[in-house]
Structure 1
Amino acid sequence: MTSAKNKMNISVTEKAHAWFKKEFDLENGDGIRFFGKLYGKTAVHDNYSLGMQYAQPNDVLAQVDVDGVIYFIEKSDEWFFSGYDFHVDYDENADEPLYSFT
């Protein structure tokens, strides 16, 4: 799903979804929020890193539903994701999510 304002997309692969489901013991109706936080680094941000938390959507910028689990970004985090589509995959070697911004 995309937001009307900036047409941002979020995608989560089936392998990434399986990891989140296992790690967070997710059930239908649960949600995972992605957000920007101070300190760290991403491929497109210096001094900021990506955070995630178990949460319910409130004021959604973008979201995708994968088998009843909602992965989303709040409008308050638009500053971090603006200008990019956000993709969540799974790194089998590291056994963790792999994030990319396009």
Structure 2
Amino acid sequence: MKLVVEQPAARWYKSEMGLADGDAIRIFVRLGGCGSVHPGLSLGVIKDAPRRIGISEIVEGVTYYIEEDNLWYLDNKTLRISFDEKYEEIKMAVE
């Protein structure tokens, strides 16, 4: 199980969310949306202080993480967060 945040995506989050070095972004399971792994569920993001990190990656000075209690969503796969320049949007793919 792995979390990969590509640098262009990290720069986009930093700019759009006004993040500074040392901030943390929690990736969490939420009801609804267009998730591809579990019908009716998708992933959300919020600036938040970690409590029980399951996996994390630091990119551009910001910690991106998933709490232990949300790791089931990945089912031992990799979550890759990238930025689609053509559509100017974030892509989250479970691979």
Match of 2:50 among 34, 53, 57: 57
Maintained 8 Å contact 2:37/2:73: no
> Counterparts of 2:80 and 2:74 in 1: how far apart (Å)?
11
Structure 2: any 5+ residue segments left out of the alignment?
none
RMSD: 1.1
Corresponding pairs, count = 95
SS in 1 for 2:16: helix
Superposed CA deviations along residues 42-97 of structure 1, whole A, max 9, x for unmatched, are: 22221101111011221001000113210000011122122211110001122121
| Sequence identity (%) | 32
Displaced runs of 4 or more, over 6 A: none
TM-score, normalization by structure 2? 0.92
Contact residue 61 and residue 73 of structure 1 kept, 8 A: yes
What is the match of residue 74 of structure 1?
67
**Matches of 2:49 and 2:91, distance apart in 1:** 22
